[in-house]
Amino acid sequence: MLLPPRTHRLDVAVDPADAFVALFGDGGRDERRDARRDAGRDAVWLDAGPGAESGRSFIGTGSRAITASVAAGTVSDDAGTREGHILGLLRERIGPGEDTAGFPLGWAGWLGYEAGAVPLGVPYRAGDGADAAFLQVDRLIAFDHADGSVTLVDATDNGGWLPQAAAALRTAAGAADAYERAHPVVGTEASVPVSWRHDDADYLAMIVACQEAIRAGDAYQLCLTNTATARTEADPLAVHLRLRRASPSHHAGFLRIAGETLVSSSPEQFLLVTADGALRTKPIKGTRPRGATLAEDLRLRAELEASEKEQAENVMIVDLMRNDLGRVSVTGSVSVRHILEVESYAQVHQLVSTVEGRLLPGLTAVDALAAAFPAGSMTGAPKLSAMRILAGLEEGPRGVYAGCFGVLAADGSADLAMVIRSLRFRDGTVTIGAGGGITALSVPEEELEEVRVKADALLRAAGLRPPGRLPGNGSEGANV
């Protein structure tokens, strides 16, 4: 139970990157140490991106975390470890809507793909580390990008945090740049091998197998993925700062919980639930790389807009998400607000659609999450059949990748993004997932190239040299 929040509006502008480093980086001037006593501890940063002119970003911390293990069938919190599922524990912890003064105080974290497979009864491969991890955020800094305001919020009985944090933030300018300089990642891992679960030949064969399943009528679309892993000494926060600059996105995040770190430049909003019950999901399906010249870029964008294959891929997932939201929505409230819109990011153009609904009375954001997870954009359609087929082909866990991250707030609202364009750091290892939707019209070589395009910026942000092709052929140096 959170205490009634106390707020303090800062009298100076602060960049979210500087703020996070000032409060949760490693180092800093002596006079900041009291305000930075949480440095190295659990913290989350949900980020609208550098230069954002609308929306809000949030940096939060807390002292209570919950985690889940799919393999053991257990959940763990400050009371110990017991049998259960993470969604059940979140239902217990998020009661009737509390007064949060309009800020997302509550449980922030990630839900891995396998944690979604278990309730559906489909096959899965359990991986290492936490299959879900959430931090109870009871202190946060809110950045309103429309008016430039910065507000500190405290829902604890710690009366000293607000003035201490405010003092640290007033002198935070330049902290992020200094942190990057002190933790270089460019080239530090150039000689470290990147190991992909499936090499080129295997991945192309998997694409063909997907198409055979589609022609047999077992699925309409399959979101096939691959996983890259490497040992690393790169600092996760420095990687995030670099990725944030190279691949800005409106649903990015840096989450450090229970000894693991998720770094994301996700462009995809998985699920938005407002405190009064409005629902929204914005599935992404359909991708083209950015062009090297303006003319090429416009050509690729137009090609995406005109692609019959990409349009069909997107519409299939829109239909799936309409069905998922319909299970928890007021009859007749589910509608497609926008269809097949192009959104452009640093590395790719994407086709995005928007599906909306109205949550049934008596249901909560956790119920909406349970109905829609895993997201259809990361499974394919029909969902259950697609997940069964993919489990047999991928031969390993997706982990956090293809899951979701964000906040389930105490006021009943939620804002969750897809875990794509993301890196997971754990025990000196970094893991990256990448993939794409396969249809009967897919060209296998083009789908392989899409994986390379999506993984390239992530590998480079971590200081890893992308191999010229997926593993097993000895070629190095070109884009992945």
Q: Cite the active site residues.
A: 268, 285
Residue whose C-alpha is closest to residue 399's, from 83, 64, 108, 69? 69
Sequence-ordered list of residues with C-beta below 8 angstroms from that of 441, at least 6 positions apart, any chain: 308, 309, 312
Pull the structure tokens for residue 466. 């992308």
Contact present, 359 and 329 (Cβ < 8 Å): yes
Spell 75-105 as b/e; 16+ CB within 10 A means b.
bbbeeeeeeebbbebbeebbeeebebebbbb
Separation CA 63–CA 75 (nearest Å)? 17
**Phi, psi (degrees; rounded to nearest 5) at 383:** -60, -55
Radius of gyration of the chain (CA): 21
Spell 319-345 as b/e; 16+ CB within 10 A means b.
bbbbbbbbebbeeebbeeeeebeeeeb
Residue 295, CA distances (Å) to 11, 14, 342, 350, 475 in order:
45, 37, 17, 18, 31
Q: Would you tell me how many other CB atoms lie within 10 Å of the CB of residue 199?
A: 16
Beta bridge partner(s), residue 269: 417
Q: Give the helix/strand (H/E) hosting 456.
A: helix 444-461
Residue whose C-alpha is closest to residue 137's, from 312, 256, 260? 256
Q: Identify whether 16 is preceded by a cis peptide bond (ω within 30 of 0).
A: no
- The torsion angle over the Cα atoms of residues 447, 250, 396 and 459, rounded to 10 degrees, is 70
Residue whose C-alpha is closest to residue 286's, from 421, 377, 401? 377
**Half-sphere exposure (CA, 13 Å, Cβ side) for 92?**
9
- The torsion angle over the Cα atoms of residues 50, 432, 373 and 277, rounded to 10 degrees, is -10
Contact present, 260 and 478 (Cβ < 8 Å): no
**Phi, psi (degrees; rounded to nearest 5) at 260:** -125, 155
